[in-house]
Structure 1
Amino acid sequence: MLTLTVAHRRELKAQAHALNPVVMIGKIGLSSNVIEELDRGLSSHELIKIKVQIEDRIVRNALFEEICQQLDAAPVQHIGKIFIIYRPKPEETENKSAHMLPRKKREAFRSKRSFQN
């Protein structure tokens, strides 16, 4: 299971606020099809919202932890019957080092007067 910093978790919560639930888990609970759908959602979106129809709070907490462990995802937020989980895309973590090259400095802004002289 991944761990997140407090600042990163806060950013993810803000991003997830506008999301709609991707997967709804019924009263039966977790099945292999649900896990596969969650995996597909995480691989395409990284950050997903899940709605659960189970009434028992203790069972929901255990389900949230089990989902995160099986999918190797980070738990972001659990409010009532809504779970938010995050798993970064593997190709982005490899390419991140290539994108971290230093940028070229921008040229200074020239005013209209500088062209007249």
Structure 2
Amino acid sequence: MKLRGKQKRFLRAQAHHFRPLFAVGKGGLSENWLAQLDGALDKRELIKINILQNADVTASEVKEFIESNTGIQVVQIIGRVLVLFKVSDEEERRDLSTRVSKI
């Protein structure tokens, strides 16, 4: 699903009070980390991740790595925090994505 402006705005508002669940640290980006991220998004559909100060990657590099290897969309980048969205593979967990599709 390609997100429009109003849909991104809605998702940003929903993620405002979230705390980052994942962090990119000194180990950098790996396929294992990406698989764990994908699994978490199947359960929640919307999460935040944090890029630690000692990480060797920038926010734009993380965005490119995530979007090129998965169906995950980066909704917003604020400094070292990224808001991610993905429609869940499980039908019963698609509460947020159904609300987004109606916007």
Task: Report 1 or 2 for greater relative contact order, CA contacts < 8 Å, sequence distance ≥ 6.
Answer: 2
Q: Secondary structure in 2 aligned to 1:84?
A: strand
**What is aligned with 2:86?**
87
Q: Which amino acid aligns with 2:60?
A: N
Aligned length in residues = 93
Q: Is the 8 A contact 1:54 1:60 kept in 2?
A: no
Unpaired segments of 5 or more residues in structure 1?
100-117
Runs of 4+ in structure 1 displaced over 3 angstroms?
none
**What is aligned with 1:48?**
47
**What is aligned with 2:27?**
28
Report % sequence identity. 33
Q: Which moved more, 1:58-67 or 1:70-79?
A: 58-67
Give the CA deviation at 1:4.
0.7
Quick one: distance in 2 between partners of 1:79 and 1:7?
Answer: 18
Q: Which protein has the larger Cα radius of gyration, Structure 1 or Structure 2?
A: 1
Instruction: Verify: 1:37 aligned to 2:49, yes or no.
Output: no
Unpaired segments of 5 or more residues in structure 2?
99-103
Q: Is the 8 A contact 2:59 2:82 kept in 1?
A: no
Give the CA deviation at 1:32.
2.3
**TM-score normalised by L of structure 2:** 0.77
Q: Which amino acid aligns with 2:40?
A: G
Q: 1:70 to 1:54 in 2, by over 3 A?
A: farther
CA RMSD, Structure 1 to Structure 2 (Å): 2.5
Q: Secondary structure in 1 aligned to 2:10?
A: helix
Give the CA deviation at 1:73.
1.2
